[in-house]
């Protein structure tokens, strides 16, 4: 048994944000599937009917060209818009003929007002890193991209309140406020491309949720444009405000079905001055949980992330991304991050914890790093699995909440069920949040494999009172399984709300709510 205190080799960090500008296609990831070979969604789902929306005409395009003057604001050329039609996973492809790139809330308002009057369906799109097919058209919806809504509006250093437009790239925001010793309460592998508006619309979780809680707490206010073009001002910067219904919460996690978020105020915590990351190996998932319990007790207030990967996930890094693990081979790996304000204190605590874990035999091997570049290297082992899986071909992706004790049984059951019909079944995720990422891959999309996975996976999760979407949302792919996690009365109220806010149903149709 040994603990290394240095990370022996450098790993590339492809998800590094491209800074100081917010033009943001997801180029940092390498997917092997060419866009044009992605099957059109309307072909893959032949029973799905296009809604009663108008067909885009020349007069519509001319209207938008007058509204959004300047180059690159109205895209109608097929080669320019194919990236906007296809999701990050290369599993959904729409047939939109128009992408609009507004710069101001007023422009968004004029766009939605026009689309509503004309009954043109709309898909809001941020960084297009969503994993449930929510950010791309299903048929020919107009894409409204927030790429140019990318201005930081203000920062109150004392309270840590950052106000910005919704198209700011998360990684850019992080870098911007680091100069003020602040940090963003949200962090995820797609930070180099995803927008804060997309994060809000999906209520993204990520690897800091354990420390800072969800966006329902960190978003102090927001501005959204409703489907009829009306601007909803809920742009509070107050920590406490109990005046009436908290309407902003409706938009957090609404996945573009109720309106377009155009700006937000984000509560940014103090940037921790001391961060350490440990990467540990252990023999079973039961041990992952035992160690978690000990970490909560012994690391307490400095514990900021507790993530796990199984052996099959680390094999993805090795085989598909040529990344090496800094420790030997083990059935399970744990990534623990501590963050605090006193390096000596935190290091002492972490070392005592690790020594206890090693001498008790719970941890079999490990490495600890404190240098920023090495911390990033270790994090990339965890954050790049999603990217590595794409190199296999097609990825069947599930993101579930389960009681922690049952968590890994789903992976075991799925592996047994699918056998050799898939390339691999991997399990990793946010243990501290009870959020498992279960992924299967095959060389190409297989309807047979799909029917072995669904509805089995959803029934399994429902049986243990879990959620079929912990953090990625329902989007297009999971909407018809909403009843596995929500009651009839809850879905019915959601439908009523949707109808009252968007009576013509133009906002992101075919997403979130089930087919009626
Ligand atoms: P998009 O993908 O463009 O859109 C997502 C949804 O939000 C769509 O339904 C879209 O219509 C809607 N939307 C976008 N912008 C707006 C807006 N301004 N107003 C209204 N609706 C809008 N998710 C997690 O929760 N945790 C993770 O740890 C995590 N890690 C990821 C790692 C990788 C490598 C990748 C590729 C994705 C990951 N995701 C994760 C999923 C994804 O990054 C998040 O869902 C992210 O919040 C989406 O932001 P986006 O700007 O890319 O939104
Ligand atoms: C993560 O936590 C993301 O890395 C992506 O939520 C998970 O791709 C996945 O399964
Ligand atoms: Zn995740």
Pick from 246, 267, 288: which residue ends a domain? 267
Q: Among 184, 204, 252, 260, say which to mutate for ligand 1: greatest number of ligand atoms within 8 Å of CB.
A: 204
Please tell me the distance between residue 426's alpha carbon and the centre of ligand 2 in angstroms: 11
Q: Is the CB of 195 under 6 A from ligand 1?
A: yes
Distance CA 388, CA 397 (A): 13
Specify the pLDDT at position 13. Answer: 23
Domain co-membership, 66 together with 43: yes
Taking CA atoms, 170 is separated from 33, 167, 289, in Å, by 26, 9, 31
Please tell me the distance between residue 386's alpha carbon and the centre of ligand 2 in angstroms: 6
Residue 513 lies in a domain: no
pLDDT in tens, 354-394: 999 999 999 999 999 999 999 999 999 999 999 999 999 99
Domain co-membership, 161 together with 177: yes
Residue 444 lies in a domain: yes
Pick from 385, 409, 437: which residue ends a domain? 385
How much of the chain, in percent, has pLDDT values that exceed 90?
Answer: 92
User: Residue 516: which pLDDT band, with cuts at 50, 70 and 90?
Assistant: confident
User: Residue 35: which pLDDT band, with cuts at 50, 70 and 90?
Assistant: confident
Cβ-Cβ contacts under 8 Å for 47 (sequence gap 6 or more)? none
More confident residue, 375 or 15: 375
Q: Is the CB of 389 under 6 A from ligand 1?
A: no
Q: Among 202, 211, 218, 266, say which to mutate for ligand 1: greatest number of ligand atoms within 8 Å of CB.
A: 202
Distance CA 207, CA 384 (A): 13
Domain co-membership, 63 together with 187: no
Domain co-membership, 367 together with 432: no
Domain co-membership, 49 together with 125: yes
User: Residue 36: which pLDDT band, with cuts at 50, 70 and 90?
Assistant: confident
Count CB neighbours of 163 within 10 A.
20
Q: Is the CB of 260 under 6 A from ligand 1?
A: yes
Q: Is the CB of 253 under 6 A from ligand 1?
A: no
Specify the pLDDT at position 31. Answer: 54
pLDDT in tens, 422-450: 999 999 999 999 999 999 999 999 999 99
CATH code assigned at 58: 3.30.43.10
Pick from 385, 401, 436: which residue ends a domain? 385
Please tell me the distance between residue 367's alpha carbon and the centre of ligand 1 in angstroms: 32
Ligand 1 atom closest to 475 (CA): 9
Task: For ligand 1, atom 43, name the residue with the nearest CA.
Answer: 129
User: Per residue in 391-411, is it b (16+ CB within 10 Å) or e — as a string?
Assistant: bbbbbbbbbbbbebebbbebb
CATH code assigned at 311: 3.30.70.2190
Q: Which domain holds residue 467?
A: 392-485
* Three-class DSSP category at 109: helix
- Does residue 17 surpass a pLDDT of 80? no
Ligand 1 atom closest to 207 (CA): 28
Q: Is the CB of 278 under 6 A from ligand 1?
A: no
Taking CA atoms, 54 is separated from 11, 101, 122, 140, 187, in Å, by 50, 21, 11, 10, 39
- Does residue 37 surpass a pLDDT of 90? no
CATH code assigned at 168: 3.30.465.10
Average pLDDT (85-112) is: 98
Q: Beta strands of 226-371 (E only): which ranges?
A: 231-234, 260-267, 274-282, 303-310, 332-340, 365-369
Domain co-membership, 368 together with 478: no
Residue 1 lies in a domain: no
Ligand located closest to 205 CA: 1
Which range (4-18, 175-189, 340-354) has the least confidence? 4-18
Residue 508 lies in a domain: no
User: Residue 15: which pLDDT band, with cuts at 50, 70 and 90?
Assistant: very low
- Does residue 9 surpass a pLDDT of 70? no
User: Residue 2: which pLDDT band, with cuts at 50, 70 and 90?
Assistant: very low
Q: Phi/psi of residue 83, each to 5°?
A: -65, -30
Task: For ligand 2, atom 8, name the residue with the nearest CA.
Answer: 386
Residue 319 lies in a domain: yes
Domain co-membership, 253 together with 315: no
Specify the pLDDT at position 18. Answer: 29
User: Residue 79: which pLDDT band, with cuts at 50, 70 and 90?
Assistant: very high
Residue 507 lies in a domain: no
- Does residue 1 surpass a pLDDT of 80? no
Ligand located closest to 199 CA: 1
- Does residue 238 surpass a pLDDT of 50? yes
Domain co-membership, 372 together with 419: no
Please tell me the distance between residue 246's alpha carbon and the centre of ligand 2 in angstroms: 29
Residue 497 lies in a domain: no
Specify the pLDDT at position 27. Answer: 35
Q: 3-state SS string over 131-195?
A: CCCCCCCCCCCEEEECCCCCCEEEEECCCCEEEEECCCEHHHHHHHHHCCCECCCCCCCCCCCCE
Specify the pLDDT at position 33. Answer: 74
Domain co-membership, 253 together with 179: yes
Distance CA 493, CA 414 (A): 34
Domain co-membership, 400 together with 362: no
CATH code assigned at 466: 3.30.70.2740
Sheet holding 365-369, edge to edge: 2-4, 365-369, 274-282, 332-340, 303-310, 424-430, 435-442, 394-401
More confident residue, 2 or 163: 163
Domain co-membership, 222 together with 206: yes
Ligand located closest to 472 CA: 1
User: Residue 34: which pLDDT band, with cuts at 50, 70 and 90?
Assistant: confident
Ligand 2 atom closest to 399 (CA): 10
Distance CA 148, CA 128 (A): 14
Residue 297 lies in a domain: yes
As for how many domains the chain has, the answer is 4
Domain co-membership, 282 together with 376: yes
Please tell me the distance between residue 98's alpha carbon and the centre of ligand 3 in angstroms: 31
pLDDT in tens, 478-502: 999 999 999 999 999 999 999 999 9
């Amino acid at each position: 048994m040994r603990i290394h205190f240095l990370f022996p080799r450098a790993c590339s960090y492809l998800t590094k944000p491209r800074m100081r500008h917010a033009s943001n296609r997801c180029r940092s990831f390498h997917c092997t599937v060419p866009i044009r070979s992605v099957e059109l969604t309307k072909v893959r789902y032949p029973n799905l009917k296009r809604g009663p929306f108008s067909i885009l005409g020349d007069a519509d395009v001319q209207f938008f060209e007058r509204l959004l003057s300047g180059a690159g604001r109205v895209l109608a050329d097929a080669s320019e818009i194919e990236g906007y039609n296809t999701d990050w996973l290369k599993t959904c492809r729409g047939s939109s003929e128009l992408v609009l790139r507004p710069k101001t809330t007023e422009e968004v308002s004029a766009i939605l007002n026009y689309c509503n009057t004309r009954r043109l369906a709309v898909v809001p799109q941020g960084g297009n890193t969503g994993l449930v097919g929510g950010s791309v058209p299903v048929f020919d919806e107009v894409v409204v991209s927030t790429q140019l809504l990318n201005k930081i509006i203000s920062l109150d250093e004392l309270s840590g309140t950052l106000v910005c437009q919704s198209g700011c790239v998360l990684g850019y925001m992080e870098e911007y406020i680091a100069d003020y010793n602040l940090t963003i309460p949200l962090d995820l592998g797609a930070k180099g491309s995803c927008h804060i508006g997309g994060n809000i619309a999906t209520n993204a979780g990520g690897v800091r949720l354990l420390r800072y809680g969800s966006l329902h707490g960190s978003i102090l206010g927001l501005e959204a444009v409703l489907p009829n073009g009306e601007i909803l001002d809920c742009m509070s910067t107050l920590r406490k405000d109990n005046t009436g219904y908290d309407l902003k919460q409706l938009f957090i996690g609404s996945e573009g079905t109720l309106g377009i978020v155009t700006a937000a105020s984000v509560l940014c915590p103090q940037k921790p001055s001391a961060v350490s990351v440990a990467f540990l190996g252990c023999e079973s998932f039961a041990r992952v949980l035992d160690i978690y319990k000990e970490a909560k007790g012994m690391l307490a207030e400095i514990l900021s992330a507790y993530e796990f990967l199984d052996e099959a996930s680390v094999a993805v890094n090795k085989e598909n991304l040529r990344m090496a693990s800094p420790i030997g081979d083990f059935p399970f790996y744990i990534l623990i991050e501590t963050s605090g304000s006193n390096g000596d204190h935190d290091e002492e605590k972490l070392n005592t914890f690790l020594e206890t874990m090693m001498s008790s035999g719970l941890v079999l091997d490990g490495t600890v790093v404190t240098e920023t570049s090495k911390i990033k290297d270790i994090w990339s082992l965890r954050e790049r699995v999603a990217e590595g899986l794409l190199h296999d071909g097609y990825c069947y992706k599930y993101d579930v909440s389960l009681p922690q004790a049952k968590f890994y049984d789903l992976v075991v059951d799925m592996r047994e069920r699918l056998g050799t019909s898939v390339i691999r079944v991997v399990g990793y995720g946010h243990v501290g949040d009870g959020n498992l990422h279960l992924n299967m891959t095959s060389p190409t999309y297989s309807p047979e494999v799909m029917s072995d996975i669904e509805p089995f996976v959803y029934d399994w999760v429902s049986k243990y009172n879990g959620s079929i979407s912990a953090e990625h949302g329902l989007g297009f792919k999971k909407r018809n399984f909403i009843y596995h996690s929500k009651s009839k009365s809850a879905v019915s109220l959601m439908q009523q709300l949707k109808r009252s806010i968007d009576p013509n149903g133009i906002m992101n149709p075919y997403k979130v709510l089930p087919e009626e």
